[in-house]
Every structure is written in C-alpha cells, then in structure tokens.
A and B are shown apart, each in its own frame.
Chain A
Amino acid sequence: MTAPACPPPRFSPGCAVRVADRAVSGHCRTPFYLRGRPGTVVAVAGRYLDPGKLAYHNPGLPAQYLYRVRFAQTALWNAAAETGGETGGETGHATDADALLADIFEPWLEPAEKDASP
C-alpha cells in the first residue's frame, strides 16, 4: 500500500480569490468580516487537518490547504472608516497600501477575476 497522492493546492501565490459568502453552521475559522471580500493569495501556508471536524472530535480528514491571503483594507471597510493604518497619516483613513493578511482554508476561497478586485 502506498499513501494516496496528495492533491495539489487549487491556488498559488498571485491568484486573485474571493472569500465565499455563505452561512455557517458549526465551528468556522473564517471571520465574518472577510466573507465575500476579494483578495490575493500570498502563500500556500501548508495543509492542515480540518478544524471544523476536529472541533467535534473527528479526525479532521481530508486535510485542507491553508492560504495566506492579502486583503486591501479599502476592500474590507467603509472608505470613511478610521483604521489607524500606517500609511493613513493624520487622517487615519485606509489607503490602497494598507493591507490585512489572513489565513483562509481552501474551501472558503473562490477564484476571482483580477480586474474585479479594487
């Protein structure tokens, strides 16, 4: 017996993605404020047991790819929101240079058109 081949990651660094906007039941590691938001994959952070299953004492298989995703702060918050971003200067408003990095599991990511990302 040989171990089953590990499937390749669906996304690679540079890919434009969008976090799925769907209802949740049970344990979920994808924060609400990222749902439906566009981002860019920065790195494949590894392959981990499924926390949604581990939370209920299940083995957590199949393992899921985890991606580090970059989100422009301006894509997350109201443009007028004060974020305290480093490049926001005295206004405290987010600029295109302000980003947020989040680790998102593969089932929560969908491919997105690059042009659709602000």
Chain B
Amino acid sequence: MTDRRTNFRKHAPDHAVHDVGGLDFGPIDRAEHEQSYYEKRVDALMMLMAGQQVFRIDALRRMIEDYAQQEYDGTGYYDRWIKALRNLLVEREVLTRDEIEARIAALRSRLAAEGRAVDPGAVE
C-alpha cells in the first residue's frame, strides 16, 4: 500500500476502515472515467441481489467495512463490491464457496482455451 494511505490512519486508530472523512488524505482525485463492462456487471449483480431480497445494500456495506485495512485500501471500488457479493452469497447460502470456485475455474479454462485474457484482479 502507498505510504500516504497507511500513514494518515495513524492519527485515527478508532476509525472504522471506511470511515476516513476529515482525515488528511490529500487532494481528492475528481477525474471521471468510463465505467467498464466489468464494473457495470458488478453493479447489476448487486441490484439483482437486492431486488431478490437476498440481502440489502446495508449488508454489502457491512461486509466491506469489515475488511482489514490493507484489503480495503488495496482494493478498487467495484472489486470491494464483488468480494463482498461473493461472501454474502455464501453467507446467505445461495451458493457454496466450492460452487463459486468451480465456476471460476471453468470460466478460466474456457477463456484460456479461447486464447482470451483473464483479468487476474476481477474475481479473486
């Protein structure tokens, strides 16, 4: 992790990992970017889960807030979502961890067989 991210927390040991408002984090990066297809799919998955009342957005937030600091700081916004979604699907007994792992392995081999790149950070 960058020093900037870890250092500013030293003055806020009681803060939850996400609760960084008002801490000296330096200037905010306000640059906009096009959402990737992956990001849109993660968002859609969350909307579907909430719509089916598998869990609420509150549970997603709780799961993300419980990440260890290094995991939280080192993970992109939608990567935090997909990790939480995966854990919540297991927690709610919609899927087992084995089923998820098996599906990921199957998709990996299919992509490899087709000679397509696998985004290493997208699902792990």
Contacts and interface: CB of A to CB of B under 8 A. Distances in A.
Nearest to A77: B22
Interface in B62-111: 62, 65, 92
A28 interface: yes
Interface residues of B, number: 15
Contacts of A56: 59, 62
B14 A55 contact: no
Contact of B56 (A23, A32, A54): A54
A23 B59 CA distance: 20
Interface string B23-53: 0000000000000000000000000000000
Contact of B21 (A23, A31, A52, A57): A31
A47 to B, nearest CB: 16
A54 B62 CA distance: 10
B112 interface: no
A60 B57 CA distance: 13
A26 B65 CA distance: 9
B52 to A, nearest CB: 13
A55 B19 contact: no
A51 B65 CA distance: 13
A24 interface: yes
B21 A54 contact: no
Interface of A: 23-24, 26-28, 31-33, 51-52, 54-57, 60, 76-77
Interface of B: 12, 14-16, 19, 21-22, 55-56, 58-59, 61-62, 65, 92
